[in-house]
Amino acid sequence: MADYVRVALGTGVVLGLCQAKQLVAPTTAHLLVYSEDKCLANCMFCPQARESLADGEMLSRVEWPRFSLDDVIEALQKSTHAFKRVCLQSVNYPSVADDLIEIVSSIKKACDLPLSVACHPISPKDVKRLTDAGAERIGIALDAATPELFEKIKGKGAKSPYRWETHLKALEEAKKLIGRATTHLVVGLGESEEEMIRTIQMLYDRGITVGLFAFTPVKGTPLEKWPRPKVSSYRKIQMARHLIASGIVRADDMKFQGGRLNDFGVDDTTLELAADSGIPFMTSGCPNCNRPFYNESPLGPIYNFPRKPTKEEIESIKKELGLTGRR
């Protein structure tokens, strides 16, 4: 039985459950199932992993304090107008599917916001039960851009139960059953720009929405000393994802050299229009989710903007992409 849930700090502030300074409010209410035990998986970057020594309240760089489910639902009822979506995330433990279904059902009885569930691969039967309870889409994070990196960081190499093929199959099944599936890819785990972009294309070809994250080292995890990705490289991948997701160009039309992206495969006018919109550099993934400062400090550098970038920020991004002075 699910008596408690964790609440992302920013969500807790909006709900009136936490006190903290907030520069940008979240547009999605982020919740995490609560388990007294560690996750059964052992992903090397995750504070919730089985062998992680990180603070148990952390996920990425964000604190997730515990509250009673009843208190959270009551606060959600009072604050529905402040959000455009609810995202219920999970760790892996034996009864997690039942707990997810119970929490989804309780939330949907209290408010009518679209609700996403982010979980490990579960059975098609449990996916159906989740959608019957009110889940609008399922998210299953690949995180790694290649099968080899997946095995090293989330699979056998990490003494973790996950397999690339199982995750990909579960995403395809969720897409088939629900019509909407989302995955996350973490930039900076050792992949090349070409590997990341071709995986993004493969996923969109399967009708799976991609949300980009920048690798964030967390103290107490095996990757705590792993470097963060270069912002300039991340900007190229963001732009490529946007162009692919929008159907403007395919990865096969882009040009790569030594794994690095050299040409987006479109004219400069198309690139500048996309850059000037700011959209490619904003948080990607489920609709109406801005995840403020999930990957970075508000002091910067900002990888995923939780709001539209300012004109000055866009000009800076265009310099990073080499778009200034090309016309």
Residue 246 maps to which CATH number? Answer: 3.20.20.70
| pLDDT surpassing 70 at residue 326 | no
- Report d(CA 170, CA 123) in Å as an integer: 8
Is the omega angle on the peptide bond into residue 222 within 30 degrees of 0, that is, cis? no
325 — pLDDT class (breaks 50, 70, 90) = low
- The model's pLDDT over 73-129, given as tens digits with 9 standing for 90+, comes to 999 999 989 999 999 999 999 999 999 999 999 999 999 999 999 999 999 999 999
In angstroms, what CA-CA distances link 174 with 114, 169, 291, 309?
17, 9, 23, 33
- At position 221, the amino acid (one-letter code) is T
- Least confident range from 23-27, 53-57, 187-191: namely 53-57
Percent of the chain at pLDDT > 70 equals 99
Q: What is the pLDDT of residues 36-71, one digit of tens each?
A: 989 999 999 999 999 999 998 989 999 999 999 999
Sheet with strand 209-214: strands edge to edge: 66-68, 4-7, 28-33, 85-89, 115-118, 137-139, 181-187, 209-214
DSSP 326: -
Is 327's pLDDT higher than 80? no
pLDDT of 323 higher than 90: no
Of 94, 141, 93, nearest in space to 116 by CA: 141
Within-domain flag for 292:
yes
Residue 270 lies in a domain: yes
Range 307-326 average pLDDT: 89
pLDDT recorded at residue 187: 98
pTM of the entire structure? 0.96
- The strand pair at 58-59 and 4-7 is best described as unpaired
* DSSP summary character for residue 36: S
**Which residues have CB under 8 Å from 309's CB, separation 6+?**
278, 281, 282, 317
Q: How much is the CA Rg of the chain, to the nearest whole Å?
A: 19
pLDDT at 2 over 60: yes
Residue 313 inside a domain? The answer is yes
In a domain, 104, yes or no: yes
Residue-range definition of the domain harbouring residue 148: 4-320
Main-chain dihedrals φ then ψ at residue 16, nearest 5 degrees: 80, 15
Q: What pLDDT score was predicted for residue 324?
A: 72
* 236-285 pLDDT, tens digit each: 999 999 999 999 999 999 999 999 999 999 999 999 999 999 999 999 99
Work out the average pLDDT over 151-161. 98
Please state the domain count of the chain.
1
Residue 325 inside a domain? The answer is no
